[in-house]
Amino acid sequence: MVAKKPRIVIIGAGMAGLTAANKLHTATASTDMFELYVVEGGSRIGGRINTSDFGGDRIEMGATWIHGILDSPIHKIAQQTHSLHSDQPWECMDADSATPTTIAEGGFLLPPSIVHPITNLFNTLMDYAQAKRTLIPHKPTTATLSIGSFLRHGLDAYWDSLKEQEEVEGFGNWSRRLLEEAIFAMHENTQRTYTSAGDLSTLDYKAESEYRMFGGEEITIAKGYLSVIESLASVLPDGCIQLGRKVTRIEWQAENSGSGNGFCSSRPVKLHFCDGSDMCADHVIITVSLGVLKAAIRDDHSGSGSEFSPNPSQNQQSVEEQMGGSYSQNPLFHNSWSLLQWP
């Protein structure tokens, strides 16, 4: 009798899922040790990476930047696939101005003497939040501190620390305080775009310092971020990636009780898809975003059904905590919910 090969199913064909698939396949291709599938709910690969054409230019609808090229695996792939150069115009946003111009509503050009102190304050506070500095002055002590409340607390402390400030003139209805408030808010809005957080008060303070940047320049990819995704997918065998396969439920059965109860005869995980079909697996790697995961776990409490059975309740707090932020970290389920690992 030929022994069944273990089957690994990766849920999600975004950067995380395809990187995992690429690594697994390239590390073991010659030995043909297991069956590998990537099931993707959408109709394309890439997830939150989606390069598109707009009026003849190449634009990014999702991820745009390589945030630091030193030791970045994305940069390495982009170099290998010659994706960093292109004849076609692309949305190139490299190189920020070292001396940006700041203009207040009404067309008032703001001098560095007004802009710099608030900009420095904001950058210093973010350095503390990102653990680039360790001694945190004026840090509020609430248990669930958000980035938003930390920043506002810092601005209030800054204002409290000032004795008398000279009022500004020549800026219409703008007072110094209003200008400083507006400059601070401008930086908060920029920070929101970095993190994709709708509101910085939903961004967990503790999680902020877990984010690690690569060193070096931040650049865009001339042939599009999707070229990196396509490169990762290109080595996978035909049929490995299955599109339009939205997983609606994942069942795990520790002790296999055979096929009599409708469960898989020899594989402990059963995936159910939106079209009513199912697939059995030995190992499942879930790369859906934490937002999707959180919605699935919350749905269970509302009684409308969860994606998971049994629900990984012991890890729900981790999900909730992580989702205080909006990072795209990926939980890894490996055969048992008790092995749910968090970055």
Q: Which residue in the set 25, 67, 75, 223 belongs to the binding site for ligand FAD (CB under 6 A)?
A: 67
69 to 28, 66, 156, 191, 328: CA distances (angstroms): 28, 6, 36, 21, 19
Report the half-sphere exposure of 343 (CA within 13 A, side-chain side): 16
Report residue 129 as tokens.
């939040």
Report residue 188 as tokens.
């908060």
Q: Which residue in the set 34, 42, 86, 294 belongs to the binding site for ligand FAD (CB under 6 A)?
A: 42
Specify the stretch interacting with ligand FAD by CB under 6 A; choose among 20-28, 40-48, 99-107, 132-140.
40-48
Residue 215 in contact with residue 207, Cβ under 8 Å? no
CA–CA dist 320, 221 (Å, integer): 33
Closest CB 251 distance from ligand FAD, rounded Å: 14
Closest CB 253 distance from ligand FAD, rounded Å: 20
Residue among 17 and 325 whose Cβ is closer to ligand FAD: 17
Report residue 329 as tokens.
């970290």
- Under the binding rule (CB under 6 A), the answer on residue 232 touching ligand FAD is no
ω into 137 cis (within 30 of 0): no
| Helix, strand, coil content of the chain in percent (nearest 5) | 35, 20, 50
Residue 285 in contact with residue 9, Cβ under 8 Å? yes
Q: Which residue in the set 48, 116, 177, 301 belongs to the binding site for ligand FAD (CB under 6 A)?
A: 48
- Under the binding rule (CB under 6 A), the answer on residue 63 touching ligand FAD is yes
Q: Which residue in the set 38, 39, 110, 200 belongs to the binding site for ligand FAD (CB under 6 A)?
A: 39
Mask: binding to ligand FAD, 83-122, rule CB under 6 A, as x and -? Answer: ----------------------------------------
Residue 252 in contact with residue 336, Cβ under 8 Å? yes
CA–CA dist 121, 189 (Å, integer): 15
- Under the binding rule (CB under 6 A), the answer on residue 17 touching ligand FAD is yes
Closest CB 317 distance from ligand FAD, rounded Å: 21
- Considering only residues 252 to 311 of the shown chain, the ones binding ligand FAD according to CB under 6 A are 287-289, 292
Specify the stretch interacting with ligand FAD by CB under 6 A; choose among 56-64, 154-162, 172-180, 311-319.
56-64
- Under the binding rule (CB under 6 A), the answer on residue 168 touching ligand FAD is no
Using the 8-state DSSP alphabet, how is residue 220 labeled?
Answer: E
- φ/ψ region of 245 (left if φ > 0, alpha if ψ in -120 to 50, else beta) reads beta
Specify the stretch interacting with ligand FAD by CB under 6 A; choose among 41-49, 184-192, 249-257, 260-268.
41-49
Q: Which residue in the set 138, 187, 206, 246 belongs to the binding site for ligand FAD (CB under 6 A)?
A: 246
Among 262, 27, 343, residue whose Cα is nearest residue 19: 27
Q: Which residue in the set 26, 120, 190, 196 belongs to the binding site for ligand FAD (CB under 6 A)?
A: 196
Q: Which residue in the set 9, 20, 21, 49 belongs to the binding site for ligand FAD (CB under 6 A)?
A: 49
- What residues contact residue 189 under an 8 Å CB cut-off, 6+ apart? none
Residue among 176 and 294 whose Cβ is closer to ligand FAD: 294
Phi and psi of 272, rounded to 5°?
Answer: -110, 135
Residue among 150 and 327 whose Cβ is closer to ligand FAD: 327
- Under the binding rule (CB under 6 A), the answer on residue 247 touching ligand FAD is yes
Among 108, 133, 110, 107, residue whose Cα is nearest residue 121: 133
Chain contacts with ligand FAD (rule: CB under 6 A): 11-17, 39-42, 47-49, 62-65, 67, 196, 246-247, 287-289, 292, 328, 330
